[in-house]
Amino acid sequence: MSRGLDHVVHAVRDLDAAAAFYRRLGFTVGARNAHPWGTHNHIVQLPGFFVELLTVAEPDRLGHDGFSALFGTFNRIFLKSREGLSFLMLESRDAEADARDFSAAGIAVSPALRFEREGSAPDGSKLTVGFSLAFARDAGAPAIGFATCCQHHPENFWNPTLQRHANGACAIAGAVIVAENPSDHHIFLSAFTGERELNATSSGIAAHTPRGELQIMDGRAFQSHFGIPPPDIAAGARLAALRFAVRERDALVAALEAGAVPHILHMGHVVVAPQAAMGATLAFAAA
């Protein structure tokens, strides 16, 4: 079963600063939320996709198994040496089936795990959101967390009000992983996305999912595409960039300039480099 992009975690040390930065980018940022294992987040929604701004706010609450270890401790270790895009989640209709698929492919980390938390509606009212995740692992990408995510109360999570952004962002176009040899990740990418046929080019490989494109490219191709140096991949592949579709470039540029966000124009993209974006490359192009 083919799986589209669901959300990406942008791990940061200062969550308040990250929320303020995304507002300066022209995004609408949701309220602060807390997980029982000590991570806190803000959500930036697009139709069917979101960016999860996340920090480990209460490390003393981290445990040794389940979500606490696979998600909380993973991000704590990630943040010891860097900020940036730490976790890639794909949409799931059945997390238990995904876990079985991942086990058969040799990439499973655990059975499907479920949790619920309290969330806040735009009017401040409280509601419950719930998720089941099936975790996977690519041995060649130890600095990237992978999972599928099945929502149990989607009507309490998705909100059109939170999907209207001053920068005109209207959809996720894709995510980009940088690897020394993209073809080494071919088997994992196919099993993780459920896409049997991948697109291979001189730049690397790509899966065209039902929601966005997931690309794995080498460092030279990354610099050619985005006009900035690739991340350090000496310790393995890195989740390096998010690509957003916007309604029109003028509104985006106006929002970035109003927020005093440094950016460049390159190959049809407006690019915000990781030095400004807390370790992530954020690229925008007209839909």
pLDDT average per 10 residues of sequence, the chain (287 residues): 95 98 98 94 98 98 94 98 98 97 97 86 79 97 98 93 97 98 97 96 94 98 98 97 97 97 97 98 96
Strands (E), 92-237: 113-120, 126-136, 145-151, 169-178, 199-201, 204-208, 213-217
Question: Is residue 127 located within the same domain as residue 266?
Answer: no
Question: Is residue 20 located within the same domain as residue 145?
Answer: yes
Please say which residue of 142, 162, 182 terminates a domain. 162
Residue type, 87: F
Question: Is residue 236 located within the same domain as residue 97?
Answer: no
Query: What's the pTM?
Result: 0.96
What CATH number is attached to the domain comprising 130? 3.10.180.10
Question: Is residue 90 located within the same domain as residue 52?
Answer: yes
Q: Do residues 282 and 261 touch, judged by C-beta distance below 8 A? A: no
Per-residue model confidence (pLDDT) at position 201: 87
Please say which residue of 162, 179, 202 terminates a domain. 162
Question: Is residue 27 located within the same domain as residue 146?
Answer: yes
The values of phi and psi at residue 100, to 5°, are -65, -40
β-pairing, 169-178 vs 238-246, is antiparallel
* Number of structural domains found in the chain: 2
State which residues form the domain around 118.
5-162
Q: How far apart are CA 285 and CA 268, in angstroms?
A: 6
Question: Is residue 10 located within the same domain as residue 99?
Answer: yes
Per-residue model confidence (pLDDT) at position 122: 67
Question: Is residue 153 located within the same domain as residue 22?
Answer: yes
The token pair that represents 13 in the structure block: 């040390």
Q: Do residues 8 and 85 touch, judged by C-beta distance below 8 A? A: yes
Q: How far apart are CA 265 and CA 250, in angstroms?
A: 12
Question: Is residue 137 located within the same domain as residue 34?
Answer: yes
Specify the DSSP element, H or E, that contains 99.
Answer: helix 95-105
Please say which residue of 106, 135, 162 terminates a domain. 162
Q: Do residues 37 and 62 touch, judged by C-beta distance below 8 A? A: yes
Question: Is residue 126 located within the same domain as residue 262?
Answer: no
Per-residue model confidence (pLDDT) at position 117: 81
